[in-house]
Amino acid sequence: MDASITTLPFPVAGEGTRARTRVDHKTSEEAALVRRVQARDEMAFREVVERYQSKVFSIIFGILRNRNDAEDIAQQVFAKVYFSIKNFDFRSSLLTWIYKITVNECYDYLRKKRVRKLVYESDFSQEDAQRMEASEPAIDGAVPADTRLAQRDLILKLLSKVSEEERSLILLKEVEGHSVEELAGMTGLNENTIKVKLFRTRQKLLRAAGRLTRTR
Amino acid sequence: MHREIRDHIEDVLRGGDTPKDAREHLAHCDECQTEVRSMQEQTALIRELRAPADFAEDLHPGFYARVMERIEAEGPISIWNLFIESPFGRRIAVASLALALLIGVYVVTSERAMEDSTIALESQQSVTEQIFVAGEDAPAREITRVDQSQSDESSQDAVLANLVTYREQ
């Protein structure tokens, strides 16, 4: 399978299909909010925290399935937002930027803890198990929880093999459910560029999976 | 994967509308079928990273206050934080301090040695001057006495060497 995958590129941006969605992130209401945060307006920062905290928590919990550390990582995410927002350049939406920070923090956490298993048994409560079983769409209704944990472990490992940008993009597409058009608007990139990046990321993930299977 | 599928892979994976030629190609191409299947499995795995829909509902009173506490505790990020916070940075800092200490010790000890040699040189010069003051006719014993009373022990050898030279001349 792996050998059959070629690295032929998608048509480059502008070739063939159209590039539609362009959002000017510099003039939106969100941009005004960001500028206030950049000027160290605490009320504006509070608004950012309140607007995005549930999203940040759900990203973290989706990746780590660890309630105990989710709050700590979320605090760290917003501290980073506070300290780094001066470097926010309005090329993407604030959510995209925060999303990337959040995913990076999750991977930092995994790296620091040297977690190769997705979930520590001690962190995985009965409630978490029930919640996970009840609410997530399954590939196959009969897949047992430990198999799903192993699968999640595998996909986290594979996602660690691609760049931060590729990781954020594929997660925004598949986990958050954004369309290519929406991603183009959120990132400020051309739709074709988004498609190329997604396709290359998928190829990289397949190759990484092939390597992992061979080494096992 | 062939171009017919590659160009529409996002639509294929989403199960959306795809052009007729892409559908026909996929129906007959084993290679593309295999790869699409792999990508579908992979996509399903990635979607496992979705949080439960009701996850965010029971959040976290006082979260903003705790974020601000953390921000105040961390303070602005400076170049020094890199040294203080990371273990590698701390090692570099300790090694730098040790190196600075070694250089300091070396500088101090070498300055002392230079001072000692300067003192020796000065006392040697003063003895030589006295010899010249005493005149060429003065007995060697007298000059030696002057030398013993006025110069310190560290300069004795140098003075004696001078005397020997003086007598030979």
CA-nearest of A75, A120, A16 to B66 is A75
Question: What pLDDT is stored for residue A3 in this prediction?
Answer: 39
Cβ–Cβ pairs < 8 A, chains A and B: 129
Residue A171 lies in a domain: yes
A179 is a domain residue: yes
Residues B85 and B148 in one domain: yes
| Total domain count, chain B | 2
Query: Are B116 and B38 part of one and the same domain?
Result: no
The answer to whether position A93 is within a domain reads yes
- B39 and B90 assigned to the same domain: no
B28 reaches A (C-beta below 8 A): no
How far apart are alpha carbons A81 and A87 in whole angstroms?
A: 10
- Tens digit of each residue's pLDDT (9 = 90 or more) over A6-65: 333 333 333 334 444 556 666 678 889 999 999 999 999 999 999 999 899 989 999 988
Cβ–Cβ < 8 Å for B99, B89? no
pLDDT at B164: 67
Q: Do B85 and B154 have their domain in common?
A: yes
How far from the centroid of its chain's Cα atoms is residue A205's Cα? 15
- pLDDT at residue B12, rounded to an integer: 85
Q: Do B51 and A61 touch (CB under 8 A)?
A: yes
Same domain, B85 and B161: yes
Classify residue B71: in a domain, yes or no: no
CA distance A208 to chain B (A): 11
Residue A78 within a domain: yes
Q: Tell me which amino acid residue A86 is.
A: K
CA–CA gap between residue B96 and residue B102 (Å, rounded): 10
| pLDDT for the residue numbered B7 | 83
Which residues on chain A are in Cβ contact (under 8 Å) with B70? 75-76, 79
Same domain, B47 and B84: no
Give a yes or no: residue B159 inside a domain: yes
Q: A206–B39: do the CB atoms touch at under 8 Å?
A: yes
pLDDT given at position B123: 77
Residue A103 has pLDDT above 90, yes or no: yes
Instruction: Kindly state whether residues B34 and B96 are assigned to the same domain.
Output: no
Q: Which residues contact A179 (CB under 8 A, 6 or more apart)?
A: none
In a domain, A126, yes or no: yes
Query: What is d(CA B49, CA A157) in angstroms, rounded to the nearest whole number?
Result: 12
Tell me the H-state helices in A39-190: 42-64, 67-84, 94-112, 126-135, 145-159, 164-174, 180-187
Top residue of B7, B17, B34, B45 to mutate, by most chain A CBs within 10 Å, is B45
For residue A5, the chain B residue with the least C-alpha distance is B1
Closest Cβ opposite residue B47 in set A53, A174, A198: A174
Please give the model's pTM, rounded to 2 decimal places.
0.62
Is residue A105 assigned to a domain? yes
Residue B59, in any domain of the structure: no
- My answer on whether B155 and B89 are in the same domain is yes
CB contacts, 8 Å: B53 with chain A: 135
Of B35, B50, B76, the CB nearest to A175: B50
Instruction: Mark which of B34, B53, B72 sits at the end of a domain.
Output: B53
Range of the domain at B90: 80-168
Residue A147 lies in a domain: yes
* Residue B67 belongs to some domain of the structure: no
**Which residue on chain B is closest to A169 by alpha carbon?**
B46
Give the CB-side neighbour count of residue A203, counting CA atoms within 13 A: 18
Q: What's the average model confidence in pLDDT over A160-184?
A: 92
pLDDT tens profile B28-64: 888 888 999 999 999 999 998 988 877 765 667 889 9
pLDDT band at B23 (very low <50, low <70, confident <90, very high): confident
Give the one of A1, A79, A171 whose C-beta lies nearest to B67's C-beta: A79
What is the reported pLDDT for B125? Answer: 75
CATH number at residue A37: 1.10.1740.10
> In which domain, by residue range, is A136 found?
29-215
How many distinct structural domains can be found in chain A?
Answer: 1
* Residues B78-114 pLDDT 10s: 666 666 656 677 788 888 899 999 999 999 888 888 8
B63 touches chain A (CB under 8 A): yes
Residue B73 belongs to a domain: no
Q: Is residue B75 part of a domain?
A: no
Question: Is A21 within the bounds of a domain?
Answer: no
The string over A108-138, giving b where at least 16 C-beta atoms fall within 10 Å of a residue's C-beta and e elsewhere, is: ebbeeeebeebbeeeebeeebeebbeeebee
Continuous H helices in chain B: 3-6, 9-14, 20-28, 30-47, 63-74, 79-85, 87-134, 140-150, 156-168
**Range name among A9-18, A106-115, A129-138, A162-171 with the lowest pLDDT average:** A9-18
Average pLDDT over residues A166-186: 92
The reply to whether B84 and B143 lie within a common domain is yes
